[in-house]
Amino acid sequence: MNIGIVGLGLIGGSLGLDLRSHGHQVFGVSRKEETCQRAIARGAVDDASTSLTLMKNTDVVFICTPLGVMQATVEELIPHLSEDTVLTDVGSVKGWVVEAIAPLWANFVGGHPMAGTADSGIEAALRDLFVGTPYVLTPTETTPTRATQRVEEVVRPLQVQIYHCHPHDHDRAVAWISHLPVVVSASLIAACMGETNSTILELAQALASSGFRDTSRVGGGNPELGVMMASYNRAALVRSLHSYQGALNQMITWIEQEDWATLEVALKRIQAARPQFLR
Amino acid sequence: MNIGIVGLGLIGGSLGLDLRSHGHQVFGVSRKEETCQRAIARGAVDDASTSLTLMKNTDVVFICTPLGVMQATVEELIPHLSEDTVLTDVGSVKGWVVEAIAPLWANFVGGHPMAGTADSGIEAALRDLFVGTPYVLTPTETTPTRATQRVEEVVRPLQVQIYHCHPHDHDRAVAWISHLPVVVSASLIAACMGETNSTILELAQALASSGFRDTSRVGGGNPELGVMMASYNRAALVRSLHSYQGALNQMITWIEQEDWATLEVALKRIQAARPQFLR
């Protein structure tokens, strides 16, 4: 097939590398000419351009831009597409994206490949980035079945695990396991920063080891990404945050009341539950 | 020197392996005969016994039992020691330990080697476990300087980074970086377990990846250890938990009020602060 990729960053570039190796012709669009040249040089695309006219003969187009410019990008892209072209995106939030883009293009299927690294940009693109990772598709009642099938046909050879769900179910699920951890983890660092006794703060900084490193990792990540996920998935995140406040308050009450037996039962249930999130 | 180790688990066994390789004679005591035999076979001790009489000619004794039996162990040990013997412990909480043991033995110095693995027991003992890790000593106004110097002399060749602080400063510092993360992380798992929509819960379990894995790791750890640290370091932990509630509530307010500019400034400060805890 002829595949279009708009946005040649980590995800767009990695998709291009894999899809070319599976025999597709891949055409990429980036706002920057330099990125186009690097994408060609790295073998992520067969051809690249800063102009969306390059998308005119594509069968499937992956929108791989940041969420903030996705709607505007699709509006600009549409005049260049043939009616049969299937549009999909790789955004990490799906309710908002589907509501914004489905009305603009009938053959649209929301998607979220859940792979990545700490790096970004075309230089960070990797072959086989998606092997063994979940690829969520969020067709709705109005999504043509053929459109969903076409996207599946393209991404399945990347050895992804395909999941189908409603956009809002996706957003509530990722609020729990991706977005809530960011706020929980950032609040941990913020609380530690608030220690006003400099002797204790310096000691805490000196003594922190793998437990603190792991628990604080996602909270100390990219601030722009953190704000983006919070703003585009606000409702589901706030819902998860309120549940988290409840769980935390319960834990604090047990500790304050020295109810060690109940705390131990709870920690045992928590220990037993965790592996179900790590399959 | 003649070194005694009471409690031949991960820490006691690892200390034995290293101290023997630095030329000390190491004598170990365990409640179980089988552990004594394994400690000898693994080279962690020169001799081992289930009887504390083996400690009678030691210069320094490391108490490496769980916190819950430490005071009783020291009471039982004291009649076997010569007056000059220096006692130290490896407990992860210091205020309670120092208050319990210092009145029993003048030559006592609280200690906390901050090394470990996920495993426990004599089979988990490792050579060089302490290289590059912090080793906190908590002498007080009444601790003889010579006692502290003797412990330092023994542990410094293990290539540890020695810190001195007041027992309560230690406990407040580790509350921030070791104990608060456990409660924060356990509450994350507890909150996710509370999702009542089974479609969303199963999706969350299927989609969880490295962000969830890292943030939930210490919360899904050993429940007995979790309860122990909460009970023995309750005051400092509760203090940290209340600060954490404040930081979390602040974050939730920004998200609810869609105050993205303030949230981004905060996340940038948090991102910049984290490396100071990872030196």
Task: Give me the sign of the Cα torsion angle B149, B151, B156, B161.
Answer: negative
Residue-wise pLDDT for A201-213, tens only, equals 999 999 999 999 9
Residue-wise pLDDT for B1-39, tens only, equals 999 999 999 999 999 999 999 999 999 999 999 999 999
pLDDT greater than 90 at residue B41: yes
| pLDDT, mean of residues A153-172 | 98
Provide the CB-side half-sphere exposure for A2 (13 A, CA).
13
* Integer CA distances (angstroms), B82 to B6, B15, B62, B85, in order: 16, 22, 15, 6
- In angstroms, what separates the C-alpha of A179 from chain B's closest C-alpha? 9
| pLDDT, mean of residues A53-74 | 96
From chain A, the residues in CB contact with B205 under 8 A are 276-277, 279
User: Mutating which of A160, A270, A271, A279 best tests the B interface, going by the most B Cβ atoms within 10 A?
Assistant: A270
pLDDT greater than 90 at residue B269: yes
pLDDT on residue B24: 98
Asked if A181 lies within 8 A of B212 by C-beta distance, the reply is yes
Percent of chain B with pLDDT over 70: 100
| pLDDT, mean of residues A180-195 | 98
pLDDT on residue A254: 98
User: Mutating which of B94, B168, B255 best tests the A interface, going by the most A Cβ atoms within 10 A?
Assistant: B255
Beta-bridge partner residues of A56:
none
* Integer CA distances (angstroms), A86 to A2, A146, A153, A155, B271, in order: 11, 9, 12, 13, 39
Nearest to A214 by CA among B106, B224, B181, B2: B181
Longest dimension (CA), chain B: 68
Which domains occur in chain A, in start order?
2-165 (3.40.50.720), 169-277 (1.10.3660.10)
Residue-wise pLDDT for A223-267, tens only, equals 999 999 999 999 999 999 999 999 999 999 999 999 999 999 999
pLDDT on residue A279: 76
pLDDT greater than 80 at residue B279: no
Instruction: Give the β-pairing of A25-29 and B134-137.
Output: unpaired
Provide the CB-side half-sphere exposure for B55 (13 A, CA).
28
pLDDT greater than 90 at residue B118: no
What gap in Å lies between CA A11 and CA A13, rounded to an integer?
5
Asked if A247 lies within 8 A of B194 by C-beta distance, the reply is yes
What is the distance in angstroms between the CA of the first residue and the CA of the last residue of chain A? 33
| pLDDT, mean of residues A212-222 | 96
| pLDDT, mean of residues A26-48 | 97
pLDDT on residue A116: 85
In this complex, which of A203, A215, A256 lies closest to B215 when CB atoms are compared? A215
Asked if B180 lies within 8 A of A192 by C-beta distance, the reply is yes
| pLDDT, mean of residues A36-52 | 97
Residue-wise pLDDT for B78-102, tens only, equals 999 999 999 999 999 999 999 999 9
Containing B137, the helix (H) or strand (E) segment is strand B134-137
Longest dimension (CA), chain A: 68
Residue-wise pLDDT for B42-78, tens only, equals 999 999 999 999 999 999 999 999 999 999 999 999 9
What gap in Å lies between CA B144 and CA B88, rounded to an integer?
12
pLDDT on residue B116: 85
pTM comes to 0.93
- In angstroms, what separates the C-alpha of B196 from chain A's closest C-alpha? 11
User: Mutating which of B205, B249, B268 best tests the A interface, going by the most A Cβ atoms within 10 A?
Assistant: B205
In this complex, which of B181, B260, B266 lies closest to A215 when CB atoms are compared? B181
Nearest to A230 by CA among B188, B256, B210, B246: B256
Asked if A197 lies within 8 A of B227 by C-beta distance, the reply is no
Instruction: Give the β-pairing of B111-113 and B134-137.
Output: antiparallel
**ipTM higher than the 0.85 cut:** yes
- Cβ pair B164, B140 in contact under 8 A: no
The helix-helix angle for A180-193 and B234-256 (nearest 10°) equals 120
DSSP character for B85?
A: P
Residue-wise pLDDT for B3-12, tens only, equals 999 999 999 9
What gap in Å lies between CA A224 and CA A14, rounded to an integer?
22
- Cβ pair A186, B251 in contact under 8 A: yes
- In angstroms, what separates the C-alpha of A16 from chain B's closest C-alpha? 23
Number of CB pairs, chain A paired with chain B, less than 8 A apart: 325
- In angstroms, what separates the C-alpha of B252 from chain A's closest C-alpha? 7
* A28 Ramachandran zone, left/alpha/beta (phi>0; psi -120 to 50): beta
pLDDT on residue B62: 98
| pLDDT, mean of residues B136-150 | 97
| Token couple for B169 | 């400063």
| Average pLDDT of chain A, as a whole number | 97
In this complex, which of B203, B219, B226 lies closest to A169 when CB atoms are compared? B203
The helix-helix angle for B180-193 and A260-273 (nearest 10°) equals 60
